[in-house]
Structures are given as C-alpha cells and as structure tokens.
Amino acid sequence: MSQRHLSRTIALQSLTEWDFNKSIPAKKSSNLKEVIIRYLSKLTPNDFEGREFTQELANGVEKNLSEINDYIKKYAPQWPLEQITLIDRNIIRLGILELVFLKKTPPKVAINEAIEIAKSFGGQTSGRFVNGVLGAIYEDLKKETEK
C-alpha cells in the first residue's frame, strides 16, 4: 500500500469518526485534529512520511466543508447529504478536495483512489456512486479549463 493511499485511508477514518460524532446531539463534538493524531499514532509507524498529507486532507475537508457539501448537493441532487452513508459522503468529500481545492494530484488518480477506497470501505455500489459524482465534477472542471 502506498504512503498516499494509506494517508487517504486514515483521513477517511478520521473524517468519518468526526462526522459521526457531530451528528449525535448529546455527544460533545470531537476535535478533528485530535482524531487524526490518534489514528496516525495507532495505525502508522513514527517515521510514516504521509502524516502531513493525511492532515492536509482531513483538515482541508473541515476547512472547506460548506463548499464541498455544495458540490455534493449539486452533483448528487437525488441524494440529500444526510442520506448518503458516512463512508461514501466522506470519500466524496476527500475526492472533491483533491479535485477542486488542492489540485496537486492528477484528477484521474484522485478519482481512481477514491473509487478504490470506496470499494474497500463502502457498500456494494459505493465505487459506482463515487465514480459518478467525482466523474461529473471532473468533466465540468475540464470544460471550464477548455474555455
């Protein structure tokens, strides 16, 4: 497993826990930074080179959450945000972050990584769902750059 793939996986796990805890009224909202540090310390060796990338991904989603959610609402209008599974929702959020905000990873690589993670962690149709949403966003971004 590549360092970046592991970073994306840990970011997903951190975001999913954080997102879940936010939805429980009686639960005190968890601090995403603390969740990330806990996952990194439990799942990676001290010399793991992907720590910074993991934090950049998870913190980037938190920072841009409202805009990222707007993309989901626009490109998956038949699915209210609350009805998308926690896993799928956060995989799509990570994919949107990489496609639209960070732009460090080639778009097809970012989409493929999201699909692979969805197949590993999501349900039977997660890969297709993630591909559909991120693919539509990518096509629109391509059209915008061609203008």
Checking if the pLDDT of 73 tops 70, the result is: yes
Round the average pLDDT of the chain to a whole number and report it: 94
Residue 77 tokens, joined: 């209008």
Interior CA angle at 111 toward 105 and 116, to 5°? 115
Give the pLDDT mean for 16-41. 85
What is the C-alpha to C-alpha distance for residues 6 and 69, in angstroms, rounded to an integer? 24
pTM: 0.94
Checking if the pLDDT of 1 tops 80, the result is: no
Structurally, the chain folds into a number of domains equal to: 1
Q: Look up the domain containing 23 and give its range.
A: 3-146
Checking if the pLDDT of 133 tops 70, the result is: yes
Checking if the pLDDT of 134 tops 90, the result is: yes
Checking if the pLDDT of 108 tops 90, the result is: yes
Question: Is the CB of residue 41 less than 8 Å from the CB of residue 74?
Answer: no
Give the pLDDT mean for 71-80. 96
Band (146; pLDDT cuts 50, 70, 90): confident
CATH number at residue 102: 1.10.940.10
